Chain A
Amino acid sequence: MSHVAAAAHGHHPEPGFWRKYVFSVDHKVIGTQYMFLGLVMALLGGASVYVIRWQLAWPESQIPLTGWIPEPAMYEGHLDPAFYNQLVTMHGTIMVFFVAMPILLGGLGNFLLPLMIGADDMALPRLNMMSFWTIFTAAMVLVASFFVPGGPASAGWTGYPPLSADAQYTGVEWGLNLWILALALEFGSFLMGGVNFLTTAINMRAPGLSFFRLPLMVWMQLTAAVLFMLSVGPLIAGAVMLLLDRTLGTSFFLPARGGDPLLWQHLFWFFGHPEVYVVLLPGVGAVLEVLPAFARKPIFGYRAIVYSTIVAGVLSFIVWAHHMFIAGIDPRLATPFSITTILISVPFAVLLFAMIATLWGGSITFATPMLFAIGFLVTFLVGGVTGIFNGSAALDIFIHDTYFVVGHFHYTLFPTVFFGGFAGIYYWYPKIFGRMLHEGLGKLHFWLTFVTFNLVFLPMFRLGMGGHMRRIYNPLNYEFLRPLEPVNQFVTVAAIALLVSQVPFALNFLGALVWGRRAPANPWNATTLEWATASPPPHGNFATVPTVHHGPYEYSRPDTAADFVPQHVPLPAPPAAEAVGAAGI
């Protein structure tokens, strides 16, 4: 198949500013754009945390630093309950769809995938560019929703009807419509991206790069792409239905018109559960790349990890109703879904055990990426075990819609996005920007984040056990919650500290762009293909297409002098007298 790009590649006129930096089709530029979008949206998502947490800790007080927010959202420093719901909604929506996915999939995934497989770019570069500008538009639409009359969406990031399906219940008209539109655009963006990732990985691997020689980050990105592609359809259908209910008066979800609110929940969570693994897996992928590099040993159980990930992916499609145990489904469905849910803990146990086993017998150095990777392991372990509590329908009767759930999902999402994601950012920053980050600031950022993160979210399990409901503007309304208020205050102080703890990262990230030491091609002496080219890689990534000779984690081999063998470098020939075990090659 002839391809325009192939014919004269490498000899085309230098593109102008707009085509080079704004409307670029280069996956490295696009990946960087996604990452910046995610990091900027994190500021917005984080800012909402400040107001929400202050309100929870001191419900009747005036919230400092909010004077610039106009009425009716704030009135003389006091937060309006409707705006509280809007902030809670936007916090979830922004963090999942406009921070986690852009940083992990759009950012790291886009940047790394072609490099890790020895390709010069994605299979469909223009589609890649369109995917970024689609999510950029989506983000603008979502931000715009703050400024329309009635303000932004207020029905939770889960948007359950009837609350979300008829403006009379919330007073929010355009805000919710824009929210639906923003999500639809975001889904479109990641559908485009998913198509691209899968096509690229299937078709454009370097010679010798069989599937079981792929870096695990690639496996994770691909599994995430498949999960997303196959799960988002029903929610796209649902989003169209919700928009029609809101604007045309259709009867999909509104009982008054003959509809069924539960239909939305099924459509949402059929997507929603695989979606959390879409977010999780790339973060795990980053950790899986960092661990071998800084323990100087192969990943333990490469195949076991791949198979477990696939099993978890498949299982993720049959657990969704564990979000609906209390929703009014037939009670006889609860036990089957409890079983499938609890089964998912098994592949994740394998994954976690394999990651820890990778450390066994290692020669570990604690550069910042490794600190974040280990931080991921500790915090995700909490997230994983607290999932067991939520997955049991009987216990869920009590803890559903309490802070126990909030603690659980922050102990899974935050580790993947921030511990896994930061591990990836610190690890690949030299490759992406050609500069080294400051190690001292990095370590400071890690410890501050790790400590404050646990101080914020560990007490939430205590709150949940006390019956503290979610999305409550004023816990003091309830006698049984009053004794828990000091815990809320503690969490709020810790949350503010967590937000402030990101300042060293911002300073480091931006400062190193200008003042960072120039990065060598392979500062970490790692084995995967992205390290076999300059930092940052030149246009086209590799001077010649690399040939891959073996798997991705050949560290500390007894038969080599160097403690690593890059993938494009052949292994030493086995001694003639004995056949060295195939050992995964």
Chain B
Amino acid sequence: MDHWFPESISTYGADVDGIFHLIYWIVGFWFVLTLGVLLYCVVRFRRRAGVPASHIRGERWRELAWIVVPAAIVLLLDLGIDAAGARVWDHVKTDLPPGDVHLAVTGKQFEWLITYPGPDAKLGTADDFTLNSQLHVPAGKDVRITLRAEDVLHSFFLPHVRLKQDAIPGRTIDMWFNATRPGTWELACAELCGFGHHTMRGTFVVHAPEEWEQWIRSRAPSA
């Protein structure tokens, strides 16, 4: 079923997918068990002439235990899922690394404005340049992005990185990722932002690290 996910190209993609798998196996077990018991009951306890139903009320502990104990086990497994999830969440969303490359992204109806730091590798200087809906990053480096929105809510979604973050006008929100290999993928908007929401697509290009500087220089405004 792994092939149902988009190809994973980030350092934390496998972690996020891992949470899916953890939950899948745990709930899958309970689903099969519960459905099995249900189907068994539906077949086994069909009305038979002369066989009355059993008058079980489920009020005594001996009977209630059959549902309370499984529920308690569900609770423990739930907490385990949360513990695993918390680690991944913190890694992606709370503990942001300082970042080797800084970009600024602004969502607006209906495009992504992506600002690059230019050859001096610093955002906010004269050699910055902005591209429309084209996200370029180097492979193997921590990319830190400051996300903004100009008008309405948008959501920055890189499916192959397993990253999503809503962009809010009036706020700046930082996020990060590290793409593991070069190639071309896509950027999508994942928050309804108007009639052009479906057109807010960006190309997402991961460059080989040695080509990155060259690409930056080729796009920077001439000095």
- What residues make up the interface of A, taking CB atoms closer than 8 Å to B? 80-82, 84-85, 154-156, 160-163, 169-171, 255-256, 260-262, 295-304, 326-328, 331-332, 334-335, 338-339, 342-343, 345-346, 349-350, 352-354, 356-366, 374, 377-378, 381-382, 385-386, 388-389, 392-395, 397-398, 400-402, 462, 465-467, 469-475, 477-480, 555-558, 563, 583-584
Question: A349-B70, A382-B31 known; A584 and B54 CB under 8 Å?
Answer: no
Of B41, B109, B193, the residue contacting A359 (CB under 8 A) is B41
A394 and B88 contact, CB distance less than 8 A: yes
Residues of B within 8 A of A392 (CB): 19, 23, 81-82, 85
Question: A385-B30, A556-B52 known; A342 and B82 CB under 8 Å?
Answer: yes
Residues of B within 8 A of A335 (CB): 82, 85-86, 89-90
A401 and B155 contact, CB distance less than 8 A: yes
> Measured between alpha carbons, how far is A343 from B82 in the docked complex, in Å?
10
Q: CB of B143 within 8 A of chain A?
A: no
> Measured between alpha carbons, how far is A296 from B163 in the docked complex, in Å?
52
B5 and A465 contact, CB distance less than 8 A: yes
Chain B 162-181, CB within 8 Å of chain A: the 1/0 string?
11111011110100000000
B38 and A378 contact, CB distance less than 8 A: yes
Residues of A within 8 A of B157 (CB): 401, 467, 469
17 more A-B residue pairs beyond the given contacts A161-B152, A394-B19, with a C-beta to C-beta distance below 8 A: A85-B192, A169-B194, A298-B55, A304-B58, A327-B166, A342-B82, A346-B78, A353-B34, A359-B42, A360-B56, A362-B41, A363-B48, A363-B51, A364-B46, A393-B93, A466-B6, A584-B57
Residues of B within 8 A of A328 (CB): 165-166, 168, 171, 173
Chain B 1-45, CB within 8 Å of chain A: the 1/0 string?
100111000000001100110011011001100110110011001
Q: CB of B67 within 8 A of chain A?
A: yes
Residues of A within 8 A of B78 (CB): 342-343, 345-346, 388
B55 and A556 contact, CB distance less than 8 A: yes
Question: A346-B78, A395-B20, A465-B4 known; A85 and B197 CB under 8 Å?
Answer: yes
B194 and A555 contact, CB distance less than 8 A: no
A363 and B27 contact, CB distance less than 8 A: no
A397 and B153 contact, CB distance less than 8 A: no
CB distance from A78 to the nearest CB of B (A): 14
Complex A-B: 15 CB contacts under 8 Å: A81-B196, A155-B192, A161-B152, A169-B151, A338-B89, A346-B78, A358-B58, A365-B46, A374-B42, A381-B35, A385-B31, A401-B157, A462-B4, A474-B198, A555-B55
Near A by CB (< 8 A), chain B positions 74-129 give 74-75, 78-79, 81-82, 84-90, 92-94, 109
Residues of A within 8 A of B168 (CB): 255, 261-262, 327-328
> Measured between alpha carbons, how far is A352 from B78 in the docked complex, in Å?
16
Question: A162-B169, A356-B34 known; A478 and B201 CB under 8 Å?
Answer: yes
> Measured between alpha carbons, how far is A366 from B190 in the docked complex, in Å?
44
Of B16, B58, B198, the residue contacting A397 (CB under 8 A) is B16
B6 and A467 contact, CB distance less than 8 A: yes
B54 and A338 contact, CB distance less than 8 A: no
Residues of A within 8 A of B63 (CB): 300-301, 357
Residues of B within 8 A of A475 (CB): 198
B20 and A339 contact, CB distance less than 8 A: no
CB distance from A249 to the nearest CB of B (A): 17
Residues of A within 8 A of B189 (CB): 469
A326 and B166 contact, CB distance less than 8 A: yes
Question: A342-B79, A357-B66, A558-B55 known; A395 and B38 CB under 8 Å?
Answer: no
Residues of A within 8 A of B160 (CB): 480
> Measured between alpha carbons, how far is A402 from B190 in the docked complex, in Å?
8
Q: CB of B71 within 8 A of chain A?
A: yes
A363 and B198 contact, CB distance less than 8 A: no
- What residues make up the interface of B, taking CB atoms closer than 8 Å to A? 1, 4-6, 15-16, 19-20, 23-24, 26-27, 30-31, 34-35, 37-38, 41-42, 45-48, 51-59, 63-64, 66-68, 70-71, 74-75, 78-79, 81-82, 84-90, 92-94, 109, 151-153, 155, 157, 159-160, 162-166, 168-171, 173, 185-186, 188-199, 201
A469 and B194 contact, CB distance less than 8 A: no
Residues of B within 8 A of A331 (CB): 89-90, 93-94
CB distance from A154 to the nearest CB of B (A): 8
Residues of B within 8 A of A389 (CB): 20, 23-24, 27
Name the CB-closest residue of B to A334.
B89
Residues of B within 8 A of A477 (CB): 198-199, 201
Residues of A within 8 A of B54 (CB): 297, 360-362, 556
CB distance from B187 to the nearest CB of A (A): 10
Nearest 9 CB-CB pairs, A to B?
A255-B170, A361-B54, A467-B159, A300-B58, A301-B58, A394-B88, A353-B67, A359-B41, A82-B195
B194 and A170 contact, CB distance less than 8 A: yes
A473 and B34 contact, CB distance less than 8 A: no
Name the CB-closest residue of B to A358.
B58
A332 and B94 contact, CB distance less than 8 A: yes
Residues of B within 8 A of A338 (CB): 82, 85-86, 89
Interface-centre pick from B47, B84, B87, B109 (highest chain A CB count, 10 A)? B47
> Measured between alpha carbons, how far is A181 from B117 in the docked complex, in Å?
48
B19 and A395 contact, CB distance less than 8 A: yes
CB distance from A338 to the nearest CB of B (A): 5
Name the CB-closest residue of B to A352.
B34
A298 and B38 contact, CB distance less than 8 A: no
B89 and A362 contact, CB distance less than 8 A: no
Name the CB-closest residue of A to B155.
A401
Of B35, B52, B165, the residue contacting A378 (CB under 8 A) is B35
Residues of B within 8 A of A261 (CB): 153, 168-170
